[in-house]
Amino acid sequence: MISHVTLGTPDKARAEAFYAPIMEVLGLPRRDPAKAKAFVMWTAPDGGRPFFVLATPFDGAPANPGNGNMTALIAPSRAAVDAAFALALAGGATEEGAPSLRPQYHENFYGAYFRDPDGNKICIVCHRAEPLTGDSA
C-alpha cells in the first residue's frame, strides 16, 4: 500500500545522523546513496519498498511538519521500540509518549512517540505478542 514516506528537513546531514542509529536498531538498511543523491533513504529489510526518505523540499520553501501527520515505523520487538526511543531522545527528539502497551489500539500494541529535531511526529511500534518471562515458546 505504501511506496515511500518523505520527511522534509532543512539539514539532511543532521537528519541522517539522527535517524541512522534508529534505523539500525529497527533493522532497516540504508539505500545505496549513489541511487539517491538528492535524498537520504532507508528501505524495508529485504531492500524493497516502502522507503523512508529524508529530503530538502524541492520548492526551496522551509520544511514544515503538519499537524495531525505522523509516520509509524515497525519495530521487530518491544526491546527495539525501547532502544529506538532512547536513541531518539539522546539525539535531540522531544518525547510525545514513552514506550508502553496501548491496549486501546489492540492488546499487543507496544509503541513510543517522539518528535524529531525537525518537528516530525514519529511512532515506533511493535504489534507482536511477546512471551512472558520464563516462557520457552
Average pLDDT over residues 71-97: 97
State which amino acid sits at residue 50: P
Name the amino acid, one letter, at 110.
Y
Domain range summary for the chain, segments of one domain joined by +: 4-126
Q: Please, which residues have CB within 8 angstroms of residue 15's CB and are 6 or more apart in sequence?
A: 7, 9, 40, 54, 116, 117, 118
- Average the pLDDT over 9-19 and give the result: 94
User: C-alpha 13: how far from its chain's center?
Assistant: 16
Query: What is the amino acid identity at position 29?
Result: P
Query: Is the pLDDT confidence value at 14 over 90?
Result: yes
The string of pLDDT tens digits covering residues 99-127 is 999 999 999 999 999 999 999 999 999 99
Q: 57 pLDDT exceeds 70?
A: yes
CATH class of the domain at 4-126: alpha beta
Beta carbons within 10 angstroms of residue 75's beta carbon:
28
pLDDT at 93 over 70: yes
Place 133 in a pLDDT band, splitting at 50, 70 and 90.
Answer: low
- The predicted pLDDT at position 134 comes to 55
Q: What 3-state class would DSSP assign to 99?
A: strand
Given this model, what pLDDT does residue 135 score? 47
- DSSP for 12-66? HHHHHHHHHHHHHHHT-PBP-GGG-TT-EEE--TTS-SPEEEEE--TTSSPP-PP
Q: Which residue has the cell 489500539?
A: 105
27-51 tens-digit pLDDT: 999 987 666 678 899 999 998 899 9
Residue 36 has a pLDDT of 60
Q: What is the reported pLDDT for 67?
A: 81
